[in-house]
């Protein structure tokens, strides 16, 4: 992917495409890159040093998800809301037979739900049932703001809160591998879709139980993870730039 060539490029605005690693929060990524931008600022021409470079991300990824994270710097941060609206594509794995409070592996799986009676066509039929516009309830273990606190803070304290539904749309949902208890999928959806909720309801619609075992974002239009590089590669790029090795 094309990288910024001057500090002025960053000030005027740039989009950094990051392949987020597992366990990192989106904030972790932004914070790491922000530290390198501050270090870079110290070695810039005098007339640029007093110009701060803002940074932010467009579209949060859960800690246990990997893949495309769109990071904006400089004047591009004014476009964050606009860039978040792009259609998203994910690949992942749904695990059948158990459920978790967070709908993924952030919390411990429990239960022993039957799924041996299900065939590939059953999974495909249920995937197709998700297509179209629908109202979706976010997981209680989510970053949704409720009375100034994140929903997951209430969840971890055992406090029940009402999660407001959001209107989302599923454009495509394909089963790509069927080896129960693991069901691999590709899904294309609108902004604001919680794939964890899809994974949880997937089992419910099959009269069973399920949770999201893994997730990777491959596209957030118009961007593609094929054009992204790792956090370490971005940090190495800025470190070499700071030390005149770029």
Pair 227, 178 in one domain: no
Q: Are 116 and 180 in contact (CB under 8 A)?
A: yes
| Domain annotation covers residue 2 | no
List the alpha helices (DSSP H) in the chain. Answer: 7-12, 26-41, 46-49, 80-83, 120-129, 151-156, 195-205, 231-242
Q: Which residues pair with 178 in a beta bridge?
A: 183
In the numeric block, which tokens belong to residue 115? 């799924």
- The tens-digit pLDDT sequence of the chain (246 residues) is 788 988 888 888 999 999 999 999 999 999 999 988 887 877 776 666 667 788 999 988 999 999 999 999 999 999 999 998 999 999 999 999 999 999 999 999 999 999 999 999 999 999 999 999 999 988 776 666 655 656 566 556 566 666 678 899 999 999 999 999 999 999 999 999 999 999 999 999 999 999 999 999 999 999 999 999 999 999 999 999 888 755
Which residue numbers are catalytic?
A: 62
Would strands 55-58 and 182-189 be described as parallel, antiparallel, or unpaired?
Answer: unpaired
In whole angstroms, give the CA distance from residue 185 to residue 124. Answer: 10
The CATH number of whichever domain residue 176 belongs to comes to 3.30.2350.10
Helix axes 231-242, 26-41, angle to 10 degrees: 10
With tokens 């619609």, the residue in question is: 205
Containing structural domain, residue 216: 88-220
Residues 229 and 137 both lie in one domain: no
Do 39 and 160 have their domain in common?
A: no
Nearest 5 degrees, angle CA 31-CA 34-CA 35?
A: 90
Same domain, 133 and 48: no
User: How much is the pTM?
Assistant: 0.90
């Amino acid at each position: 992917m094309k990288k910024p060539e001057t500090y002025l490029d960053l000030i005027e605005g740039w989009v950094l495409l990051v392949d987020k690693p597992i366990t990192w929060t989106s904030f972790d990524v932004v914070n790491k890159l922000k530290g390198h931008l501050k270090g870079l600022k110290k070695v810039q021409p005098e007339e640029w040093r007093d110009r701060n470079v803002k940074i932010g991300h467009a579209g949060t990824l859960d800690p246990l998800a990997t893949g495309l994270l769109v990071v904006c710097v400089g004047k591009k941060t004014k476009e964050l809301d606009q860039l978040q609206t792009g259609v998203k594509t994910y690949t992942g794995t749904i695990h059948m037979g158990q459920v978790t409070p967070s709908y993924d592996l952030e919390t411990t799986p429990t239960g022993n739900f039957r799924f041996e009676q299900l065939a590939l066509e059953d999974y495909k039929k249920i995937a197709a049932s998700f297509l179209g516009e629908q109202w979706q309830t976010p997981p209680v273990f989510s970053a949704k703001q409720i009375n100034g606190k994140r929903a997951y803070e209430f969840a971890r304290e055992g406090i029940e809160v009402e999660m407001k539904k959001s209107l989302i749309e599923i454009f495509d949902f394909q089963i790509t591998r069927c080896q129960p208890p693991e069901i691999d999928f590709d899904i294309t959806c609108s902004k604001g879709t919680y794939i964890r909720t899809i994974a949880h309801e997937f089992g419910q619609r099959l009269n069973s139980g399920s949770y999201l075992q893994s997730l990777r974002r491959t596209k957030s239009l118009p961007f593609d993870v094929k054009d992204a590089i790792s956090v370490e590669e971005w940090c190495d790029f800025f470190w070499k730039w700071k030390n005149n090795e770029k």
